A and B are shown apart, each in its own frame.
Chain A
Amino acid sequence: MRRVLIRDPIFIFCFVIVAGLLLMSFGNTVFRDGNVDQTLMLYSDEGRLIGIPPLEPSKYQWLGTDNAGYDLFQMLVEGFKWTVGICALVAFGRMVIGLLIGIPLAFRGARLNQFFKTLLDGFLILPISLIALMMLVGTLTFYDSTQVPPLWDRVKIELIVLVVLGLPAVTLYLITEIRQLLQQEFMIVAQTLGGSVWHRVRLHLFPHLVPTLVIVFMQQFVQTLMLLIHLSLFGIFFGGTVMLHEGIMPTVYEWSSMFGYYFRQFTAMTWMTNHLFLVPAMSLAALIFIFNLLTSRLERAFKLRRQEPVVTEASLAQSEAAAASLSNPFTLVDSTVSLRKEPDDIV
């Protein structure tokens, strides 16, 4: 599979973009203490004032600046690691907990699983962003900027809510996948030969589950990002929202919060042509597109891996063929262990 991915230019292109942005983001934190350049007034070479924030995109500020004069490109770079980190953490959390619940349940009878499915059915009809909004609106909205709880407390509660709300769908999906694998011949054979549940999970189930888990991780990553975008549009930014006299503002500058923050500064007719709205919106759309593309390339690579012919050594193949042959089933075909030379009638 690795070979397929290395030779896939689309996968490499998307991977380089994501890895490059991540490196730049960490680099900005390590080498520049996470600082973002601020331009309060723009002067020409002759010392004439030629612009005040928000500045349009130019060769000095590639993506322009916001109302406070902060460089949008640098803000995007700085916030990238937060956005990717949050989504990866939530996706990983959902997957791990989903597996911990799903594996023991999948090994139980069909009736219990049907009951579990009925139990979680209600979770599969209401948009997660709506429940998340109702759960977090009281906790993450602050009317006094001096009484904001520590960042870790706010982040912890939000991460737990985001993980738990997505858990029913992931668990149900994983149970279905595992139960399908359990019906495969190799799993039935492993059970018949007396393999314990742990042995079967570790040696037989898990290697076959890895492709599914990779795809589920990528899908959950995108779903979490969409959830963060929805919440930020509703005014709940990641890490909390501070209500100020002039409006609301986020406490952590990650991409979805930036989008929601700038979006709320415009009316329907003005945001279309304003870079303050378009830059985060297009960046988020591109990020989702890139991750969807990565998922699709991974799916393709897994599919191709399944289609790859199994390469076995000639002697082994001959041994298997001989074992299956009815003409002379007890003849040893491996020359190294044969007692006397016999004509090879296998191939």
Chain B
Amino acid sequence: MTYIARKSVHLIIAFFILIAISALPSLVVQTDFSLTNYWNGIQQQMDQLQKLEDITYYNITAQRYLPLLPALGPLVKESVIIFTTALAVSTSLGLMYAYFYYRSGRRVRTVLHQTSQTLEMVPDLFWLIFSQFLAITIHKSTGFDRIEVAGGFAEYIRFLPIVTLTLTTLFFFIKWLTIHIHEQEAIPYLELAQAKGIRPSGLFWKHLLPNIIYRFYLFFRSNIITILSTLLIVEYLFNVQGLFRFAVYNPQMEILLVILFVIYIPIFLFDLLIEWIIPNAWKGGI
């Protein structure tokens, strides 16, 4: 009961904060800050929240203002497809890498560690340019034209955005996993399990992984802003018909408010789900 009350308070506070964030554009007036204007902006956003169906955006193709909410569905779907696919692929690849790293000898580990560390330093911008460059080069040399390098109106582009986002997220995950494998190896429970005759694969999947999976989620959660930033730039540069690209082309406070809620609420629910699904023992409890 306390947990539900605490989470409800959390959600209510977050709602107010999101409203305050969405009103931030009204804080800047020409080259100055205006608190009065910001307060008016917050009140305007509060009013807008009561009549969400009245929010409109300017549709360039139709040359007129259209209701926002029905138009948002396909955009959200596109962003979610790219985000979740990239996340699922990078998590799976990250865990496979972690297992391979765990089973490797000292020399292989050094090579893997140095390679992944170097690749992790490469900015997402480079992967973006590189993937497009690669697709164009393949097209020019082999005539293979199934890889789209940029989306257009009513044209979906998914492969390259997913690859770019996956690569950036993957190296991000790999760095964390490598550090935490080292950390876990220093704790005697693995030695005890090994002494009891558990095989190395069992050690990793049944003992080591459950101990780090919750912290891995917390790491992902606290760094989600970095992944979403990459998604934003990926959507913008690949011309993906997604939520973030839409926000860049329609920089209005009301639209920002809706987008903030659309992003925050699923993340909040997912947090609750993870808290509920993951057993206490995996969180370090008894």
Could you tell me which A residues sit within 8 Å of B by CB distance? 118-131, 133-139, 149, 153-154, 156-157, 160-161, 169, 222, 226, 229-230, 233-234, 268-269, 272, 281, 284-285, 288-289, 292-293, 296
Contacts and interface: CB of A to CB of B under 8 A. Distances in A.
B132 interface: yes
Interface stretch (B16-24, B63-71, B208-216, B272-280): B16-24
A187 to B, nearest CB: 23
A122 B233 contact: no
A296 B228 CA distance: 24
Given A122-B264, A130-B248, A133-B248, 19 more contacts: A121-B10, A125-B263, A125-B264, A126-B228, A127-B244, A130-B247, A134-B24, A135-B25, A137-B251, A149-B31, A157-B33, A160-B33, A226-B125, A234-B248, A285-B126, A289-B122, A289-B123, A292-B123, A296-B121
B225 A169 contact: yes
Interface string B178-209: 00000000000000000000000000000000
Contacts of B10: 118, 121
Contacts of A118: 10, 13-14
Contacts of B237: 233
B162 interface: no
Contacts, number: 129
B264 A289 contact: no
**Best-buried of B129, B244, B267 by chain A (most CB within 10 Å):** B129
Interface of B: 10, 13-14, 17-18, 20-21, 24-25, 27-28, 30-33, 117, 120-123, 125-126, 129, 132-133, 136, 149-150, 222, 224-225, 228-229, 231-233, 236-237, 239, 244, 247-248, 251, 253, 256, 259-260, 263-264, 267
Contacts of A136: 28
Contacts of A169: 225
Contact of B232 (A129, A153, A293, A296): A129
**Best-buried of B32, B122, B149, B251 by chain A (most CB within 10 Å):** B251
B28 A139 contact: yes
A126 B224 CA distance: 9
Given A133-B248, A268-B150, A284-B125, A127 B228 contact: yes
B125 A122 contact: no
B30 A139 contact: yes
A131 B24 contact: yes
A126 B251 contact: no
A79 to B, nearest CB: 17
Contacts of B150: 268
B21 A122 contact: yes
Contacts of A269: 136, 149
Contacts of A268: 132, 149-150, 239
10 contacts: A125-B224, A127-B231, A128-B225, A130-B247, A134-B253, A233-B237, A285-B129, A289-B123, A289-B126, A293-B121
B30 A149 contact: yes
Contact of A121 (B14, B20, B25, B123): B14
Contact of A296 (B117, B133, B224, B231): B117
A122 B14 contact: yes
A160 B33 CA distance: 10
Contacts of B247: 130
Nearest to B267: A125
